[in-house]
Amino acid sequence: MMLQFLKPEIMDLVRHRNWDDLKDILNEWPAQDIAVLISGLDNRDAMLLFRLLSRSLASQVFAWLDPGLQEKLILTFGDRELCTLILDMPADDRTRLFDDLPAEVTQKLLNLLPQKARKEALVLLGYPERSVGRLLTPDFVSVLSDWSVEQAIGHIRSVGKDAETINMVYVTDENQKLLDDIPIRRFLLSGSGQSVTDLMDDKFIAIEAAEDQEHAVQLMKHYDLNVLPVIDASGLLLGIVTIDDMIDVLEQEVTEDFHKGAAVSPVSGNYIQATPFHLYKKRIGWLLLLLVANFLSSAVISHFEYALQTVLALAFFIPVLIDSGGNTASQSSTLIIRAIATGELGLKQWFAVIRKELLVGLLLGVSLGVVIYFRSVFWKSGADVGLVVGLSLVMVMLWANLLGSVLPIILTRLKLDPAVISSPLLTTIIDASGLLIYFSIAKAVLNL
């Protein structure tokens, strides 16, 4: 809201090059709003505006900018200025930046960093793509189990200012193995003379660094966590991931599922900044695949050409059948994919899903089949064609509902993304198989 009302005033200051007033105003703004403002400017004004920011604010704003704009800004900085900016960024934001930038730009940035920071960055980049390790920050507060509460509080005060969060304090042994997590309030409310061991309950949730980011999202949602400790295979505490990182992951995953559901390869970065050729590359592959798949429908119609010539009325109902089948399959696949994504549906429940969706498909098919039967009878097709169309619609919807619910489960069991079963792809499969069902029933009922 603040950005909406003040943007005209800001743009006026930019046009008149009133940098002093701009600097005073922007340094009072949240980093997220400044990032949105800068992203809406042309490259020259964006760079001028960015240089007005204080050092600490600049690193925060930079982390919120789109990768394309980050790269353009990087090319305008001197090595010392660039090194300062990168070092001021949190470790997880720095890793995300290195992930998004071209390899040669990332290598340049890594070479500018001091040895310790470079080693830290390389460790994080060494984790598999989309793993929790890519998101962790080593800036956390940990205490030893044999400390007194007074020692622990003193340590928290000395190192807490550099931590990502101090809401949760982690207890480790001398080898940095995670033993427990304790809310900071428990330290503040503890009695005198207590030790860290007295505050421990030995109940904590942690995740291994190699785990998928989506698993971290599910854990934080299930246990209502704001921060999650990250460990290695032997239980050593490596870092933490926070809820803001998980929100970004969730947004990214939902966006990718939307794109896949529309038969579009996931588009990285901002749509406005994406070039037409980039969007073309993300769409043409799927469209070519769907075009080839549609040849199957044409082949089925060609094979049953004699049936259409004999009973021309059969052609009138082809769009109704394939559209109803495609819509049914899209409905069921959407419900199942979402249930899998939210953890409501487990793979061991596949038989219950089949049983339920067979009944749902039958009810849907009979309901619509009765409607189309009477439509055919009272139109100009007659009872025989009506029977063919009605039975076909029942079978097509039953098949489509079953296929739409089972395919996502099969893909998930094969460790593939169920969102690949996009609505266009599923509809194309149903088109060909639905036509085959339709003409086979017509051939049997009408003795063609």
pLDDT at 178 over 90: yes
Q: Which of 5-14, 24-33, 132-141, 284-293: highest mean pLDDT?
A: 132-141
If DSSP codes are grouped into helix, strand and coil, which group holds residue 227? strand
Domain for residue 101, yes or no?
yes
pLDDT of residue 397: 92
Q: Out of 225-239, 403-417, 432-446, pick the least confident.
A: 403-417
Give yes or no for residue 395 having a pLDDT over 90.
yes
Q: Are residues 208 and 162 in the same domain?
A: yes
- Domain of 214, CATH number, reads 3.10.580.10
Q: Are strands 142-144 and 168-172 parallel, antiparallel or unpaired?
A: parallel
pLDDT recorded at residue 191 = 81
pLDDT of residue 177: 92
- Judgement on whether residues 313 and 418 belong to the same structural domain of the protein: yes
Instruction: Look at residue 281 and tell me if it is in a domain.
Output: yes
Same domain for 92 and 240, yes or no, is no
155 and 241: one domain?
yes
Inform me whether the pLDDT recorded for 45 exceeds 80.
Answer: no
Please say which residue of 127, 150, 174 terminates a domain.
127
Percent of the chain with pLDDT over 70: 93
Strands of the sheet with 168-172, listed across from one edge: 142-144, 168-172, 178-183
Among 75, 97, 127, residue at a domain's last position: 127
Its domain, for residue 80, covers 2-127
Tell whether 171 is covered by a domain.
yes
Any domain includes 9: yes
110 and 184 fall within a common domain: no
| pLDDT score for 68 | 78
In terms of DSSP bridges, do strands 168-172 and 237-242 run parallel, antiparallel, or are they unpaired?
A: unpaired
> Are 410 and 283 within one domain?
yes
Residue 272 has pLDDT above 70, yes or no: no
**Is 103 buried (19+), middle (13-18) or exposed (0-12) by CB count in 10 A?**
exposed
Q: Which residue has the higher pLDDT, 283 or 324?
A: 324
Q: DSSP letter at 89?
A: S
Q: Are 239 and 109 within one domain? A: no
Instruction: Tell me which range, 117-126, 241-250, 251-260, is most confidently predicted by mean pLDDT.
Output: 241-250
45-49, 124-128, 136-140, 264-268: range with highest mean pLDDT:
136-140
301-310, pLDDT tens digit by residue? 888 887 777 7
Q: Are residues 436 and 300 in the same domain?
A: yes
Task: Report how far apart, in Å, the C-alpha atoms of 167 and of each of 176, 197, 345 are.
Answer: 19, 18, 33
Please indicate, yes or no, if residue 135 is contained in any of the structural domains: no
- Please name every residue paired with 178 in a beta bridge, in sequence order, or none if there are none: 172
Q: Higher-confidence residue: 46 or 131? A: 131
Q: Are residues 161 and 100 in the same domain?
A: no
Residue 348 exposed, middle or buried by CB count within 10 Å (0-12, 13-18, 19+): exposed
Residue 83 to residues 55, 88, 114, 172, 360, Cα–Cα distance (Å): 12, 9, 9, 33, 60
Q: What is the mean pLDDT of residues 204-215?
A: 90
5: pLDDT strictly greater than 70: no
More reliable by pLDDT, 280 or 399: 399
Q: At what angle do helices 318-341 and 243-261 cross, to 10 degrees?
A: 160
Alpha helices in 65-183 (DSSP H): 67-74, 79-87, 91-100, 103-112, 115-125, 149-159
**Domains contained in the chain, number:** 3
Average pLDDT, the chain: 83
Q: What is the mean pLDDT of residues 366-381?
A: 84
Q: Is residue 295 assigned to a domain?
A: yes
pLDDT given for residue 262 in this prediction: 66
Q: Which two tokens stand for residue 48?
A: 């001028």
Res 381 pLDDT > 70: no
Residue 267 included in any domain? no
53 and 16 within one domain: yes
Say what the pTM is.
0.62
Give the domain-ending residue among 64, 97, 127. Answer: 127
Assess whether 217 and 298 both reside in one domain: no
Residues counted in the chain: 448
Residue 260 lies in a domain: no
Examine the pLDDT at 240 and tell me if it is beyond 60.
yes
Angle at 89 (CA atoms; ends 86, 94), nearest 5 degrees:
75
Q: Is the pLDDT of residue 1 over 90?
A: no
CATH number at residue 89: 1.25.60.10
Same-domain pairing of 243 and 309: no
Which CATH number covers residue 303? Answer: 1.10.357.20
Token pair listed for 261:
């559901």
Q: Are 270 and 100 in contact (CB under 8 A)?
A: no
